[in-house]
Amino acid sequence: AQSVAQPEDQVNVAEGNPLTVKCTYSVSGNPYLFWYVQYPNRGLQFLLKYITGDNLVKGSYGFEAEFNKSQTSFHLKKPSALVSDSALYFCAGGNNNDMRFGAGTRLTVKP
């Protein structure tokens, strides 16, 4: 069965420092991989995706993610965190008929 794992429930970083939110996947075939962000009492919002092509994907709000096929990972990164980046982040992977979401990682950026 396909699955996506986010090994960290919580990530804390100081404002201005780089951040990484980890994601690993077990998806058959060529994976479609996504990152979404969720703010309180809101639906998920798309950040970026990997379908094919360059392993480094750039997305909204300065976020980027690196697809690593050998490690089956798709970690989310940002060079300099903002307090406003504090939110719940979800990794997702699969295809249109079977998209699996990770359990989510709560990112807290402290001033």
Q: What is 22-64 written as a DSSP string? A: --EEE-SSSPEEEEEEE-TTS-EEEEEEESSS-SEEE-GGG-E
Q: 3 or 80: whose CB is closer to other proteins?
A: 3
Q: Are 3 and 99 in contact (CB under 8 A)?
A: no
Residues near other proteins (CB under 8 A) are 6, 9, 32, 34, 36, 41-46, 49, 51, 90, 92, 96-104
Q: 40 or 111: whose CB is closer to other proteins?
A: 40
Q: 82 or 99: whose CB is closer to other proteins?
A: 99
Shortest reach from residue 93's CB to other proteins, in Å: 12
Shortest reach from residue 17's CB to other proteins, in Å: 26
> How many residues does this entry show for the chain?
111
Shortest reach from residue 89's CB to other proteins, in Å: 11
Q: How far is it, in rounded angstroms, from Cα 61 to Cα 27?
A: 27
Shortest reach from residue 77's CB to other proteins, in Å: 19
CA distances from residue 31 to 14, 74, 85, 107 in whole angstroms, order as listed: 32, 11, 26, 25
Residue keyed to tokens 């962000």: 37
Q: 70 or 96: whose CB is closer to other proteins?
A: 96
